[in-house]
Structure 1
């Protein structure tokens, strides 16, 4: 018989999992922001007379029921708006985490690595420090961001 403790131990993520997730979030941060703009354009396209050219509409046509054009417009607009809300919440949380670490001496490691896609070696040259210092402080800053984004449960054992 499985106990609650066994279940919790089996499903508990270690800090490496959270670092991987936070890295993924940071690497896709700019794309998600751009994606919001594309989704907002899709909503505008839904309102046009020839809205069937909007890529989002073709997903609705898989249904076997007969939808009116207005039903399709409303359904897709609502679906796209829900996605925008989720994306904006995610962006806002990432920005809060970035703000939390913004006063740190080594803050520039995060944007240089994740947003500008510099190598660790290039960052070390730019910040006039050792590669090990970059690795250590990148990990430390990520850990701060993890607690901000995922909460204390991410570090509790």
Structure 2
């Protein structure tokens, strides 16, 4: 797998099968995110915004890990008994190891694109509040796991002020992320 030999061209029917699997995977990932993307009301939009903020640091680590996995797959190929290969050989189309590897990589890349899109959306939304004097109430809580008292000490105010301003900032983010569905 690690040699510099030129790979043979993948037949069009196999290429289309690989593309189909990648599209199905992207659609499944997108479907999994729908509950977070379509709130019914302002309260749900607020909760969804919080859930997405809590997930952001973990999602960034996952992206980094997934990109490393793709590089490992490209360098070393799949393990001899990879479960991900069987996923691509259950249908009537049988893939050789090179084709299966390509399908696994495309599948992983589709997931990375979806995750990266979520990170980009959240980071863009955070830009609208990053200059607020109480931004640390958001970053401290969701990205560092700090409690209101610790954040309050850092900001030189009381915990209630931290809580109230974080609520205000999360509502702003919710409107940015969900539009009018996030307005009370």
**TM-score scaled by length of structure 2:** 0.70
Going from structure 1 to structure 2, the CA distance change for 1:153 and 1:64 (only over 3 Å counts) comes to same
Structural RMSD (CA)? 2.1
Match for residue 86 of structure 2 among 61, 64, 73: 61
Query: Which of 13, 18, 24 is the aligned partner of 2:40?
Result: 13
CA contact (8 A) 1:33 1:91 kept: yes
More deviation in 12-21 or 57-66?
57-66
Residues 109 and 123 in structure 1, CA contact (< 8 A), matched pair in contact too:
yes
Counterpart CA distance in 2 for 1:114 and 1:49 is 37
The alignment status of 1:33 with 2:60, answered yes or no, reads yes
**Structure 1 unpaired stretches of 5+:** 1-10
**What's the offset of the Cα at 1:22?**
1.2
Pairing of 1:1-157 with structure 2 (within 5 A): 13-52=40-79, 57-62=82-87, 63-65=89-91, 66-155=94-183
Equivalent residues, number: 144
- What 5-or-longer segments of structure 2 have no aligned partner? 1-37
SS at match of 2:83: helix
After superposing on structure 2, the runs of 4+ consecutive aligned residues of structure 1 that deviate more than 4 Å are none
With normalisation by structure 1, the TM-score equals 0.81
Cα pair distance change 1:117/1:49, threshold 3 Å: closer
Once the two structures are superposed, what CA deviation does each residue of 1:63-106 show, in whole Å capped at 9, x if it has no partner?
Answer: 43432111211111111111111111111111111110012121
